[in-house]
Amino acid sequence: MMSFTSSTRSVPTTSAVPRHVAIIMDGNGRWANNRSLPRFAGHHRGVETVRATVKMCLECGIEYLTLFAFSSENWRRPQEEVKLLMQLFLRALKHEVKKLDRNGVCLRVVGDLSRFEPELQALIRASEQRTVHNSRLVLTIAANYGGRWDILQAVRRMLNSNPEKSDGWDESDLAPHLAMSYAPEPDLFIRTGGEQRISNFLLWQLAYSELYFTEVLWPEFDALAFEAALASYRQRERRFGRTSEQLSAGSLPAVSLTDTRIDA
């Protein structure tokens, strides 16, 4: 398994183009309400925005795109809306995977999938298998995902695999068991729809991500809106605990920091 730099243990390599973009796609329902349409119409339109965003990432050279499609808390929504969302997810997988594969996109789905219907679980596995060898872009869909769930399941998996770790473990022991251990930490986090919170999304992985919030609703998040997010990212000073003076002096040492060890 490929390993990636932890932003709390050493200084990651950065560039003007984010390697990994993570997005909370918020505002579908409000977009529909503004047009006197049922909420589901907004979710349907949001799938088109997903398609366009994947295309933009391919054009920009972004290597990883992670989309928060359904949180572990979204089960609290009206039952009919949840049912329609599951149907939309199923239909989108059936219609989009062939195109993703043709364009060199590797599809991954992370979250507690056990709550989904068997047909959806089987389609997820088949879609991942079909695209597993693609490397142009890794598209991750977070479904029935929560950041706290991720950390807890990682601890359980680590201790099941290495019972001796119950006497003491550190970040490097836990990281391989996180749901997105196959990807670098997000460089840029985007949330559409005007809300300014991360809503239990990638709690571990967003430690040093640049956060960008926009009033633009997800169905309207077009190329101009995406470029505005990228422009904001290019203006950020990514210090990773260092000072501005160190950056100005060109002091960019890949200093390895001491891990915080969790002892029993």
Query: CA dihedral defined by 201, 205, 143, 178, rounded to 10 degrees?
Result: -130
The string over 40-69, giving b where at least 16 C-beta atoms fall within 10 Å of a residue's C-beta and e elsewhere, is bbbbbbbbebbeebbebbbeeebbbbbbbb
DSSP state, residue 176: G
Token pair 């985007």: residue: 190
Report yes or no: 161 and 177 within 8 Å, Cβ to Cβ. Answer: yes
Report yes or no: 54 and 21 within 8 Å, Cβ to Cβ. Answer: no
DSSP state, residue 186: P
Cα–Cα distance between 119 and 121 in angstroms, integer?
5
Angle at 87 between CA 62 and CA 153, to 5 degrees: 60
Cα–Cα distance between 3 and 171 in angstroms, integer?
13
Which residue out of 26, 150, 173, 187 is catalytically annotated? 26
User: Does 74 participate in catalysis according to the annotation?
Assistant: yes
**Torsion 132-135-141-147 (CA) sign:** positive
Cα–Cα distance between 148 and 190 in angstroms, integer?
20
Which residue out of 28, 33, 34, 74 is catalytically annotated? 74
Angle at 127 between CA 122 and CA 132, to 5 degrees: 125
User: Does 26 participate in catalysis according to the annotation?
Assistant: yes
Write out the catalytic residue numbers. 26, 74
